[in-house]
Structure 1
């Protein structure tokens, strides 16, 4: 069975940091993969025209590299999701879910330090009730370097993975795609560095018994 997969990212780059290798794996398997981007930058929110144009080009280039079936953009103001009425965001997300009817979801960790990640999770999970959307079979929560590991070290909100994706054949391409977001990367020990991305993939791979892996918390798995 070929799956419809929806990748939800609060910002462009979260999809690649959190599950870039898994996206490539889904596409290689022939699945239809859709990308929902919650936020965007704009001149109205303090960015100059060059930055806005560059971000638009980055999104287009990343989408082309992955080969998404379709890209959805809500264009909500970045870093401002927590001041937008929750019902408004849920309604926008629900419309896309009902249009795509995805079997599999990938979304950010509820307890990431960035407020946009928290709001994104809450908006998506509110739209994934199986009795309303019986097509939903799997919901996965990914980790985002520079956000997940900086959440408070409290047991009840810790990211404890219970699902792993072997990306041994896809890490190099994930890294290559991440380099499109040049301004989001830095030199180690900056969290979003190529060295750190490889280190995390190696560590998660060792946990899963493979060379490289991405880790997830499985929130729902119906089969």
Structure 2
């Protein structure tokens, strides 16, 4: 049994990047945890109704995946800077010491969204095996509309996960985030999510797949 931790810069990144893989982990009897870094709040200028709706969405998502625990840092979205890194490191470190995950799912280092890049930079201390020996594998996610728009080093997947049995559930969960979805050609459309999974599946001889970049793996 594995202890899985996914770290999302924003709610919906966990589903876009690894929704099918999380469902597969759960089906295999693994323990799954979710750390979300940013969230909307009234003090950030969002309406009470919008905040309530987003928190209801998150609650439904947690229930849909059957996460064993959820941690929300609730930092201001689209506003993360290097100044937030010490806070993020401290908070995540305390969580890691508590749950001791052996597999991490994290954002790609060169995503277009600055929040994603700041989160990745904050996670680098946790790649050190002498400090966190229980972390055996670190996988960077492909998050549609963020990972597919780089201008430097591009995302080059080298790990593929068959999610054919879980694609319908992934789409069902993604539909909870109605405010984040749009119609094609908007990147975060159901059509595009399915098309990406279909394409990644064609690269590994499965119907649907999610792809990742392996950043680290320790084999016992």
Show CA shifts across 1:65-90 (max 9, x none): 00000000111111111163422221
**Aligned twin of 1:37:** 36
**Aligned twin of 1:111:** 110
Distance in 2 (CA, whole Å) between partners of 1:99 and 1:118 is 25
Distance in 1 (CA, whole Å) between partners of 2:30 and 2:127 is 20
Contact map agreement 1:93 1:123 (CA 8 A) in 2 = no
Gaps of 5+ in 2: none
The answer as to 2:188 corresponding to 1:189 is no
Query: Shift in Å at residue 100 of structure 1?
Result: 1.0
**Aligned twin of 2:119:** 120
Distance in 1 (CA, whole Å) between partners of 2:87 and 2:174 is 31
The answer as to 2:166 corresponding to 1:170 is yes
Contact map agreement 1:93 1:127 (CA 8 A) in 2 = no
Contact map agreement 2:82 2:118 (CA 8 A) in 1 = no
Distance in 2 (CA, whole Å) between partners of 1:125 and 1:86 is 10
Q: CA RMSD in A?
A: 0.9
TM-score, normalised by the number of residues in structure 1: 0.96
Show CA shifts across 1:39-98 (max 9, x none): 110111110000000011000000000000000011111111116342222111111111
TM-score, normalised by the number of residues in structure 2: 0.97
Where do residues 1-223 of structure 1 align in structure 2 (5 Å cutoff)? 2-82=1-81, 84-152=83-151, 154=152, 157-223=153-219
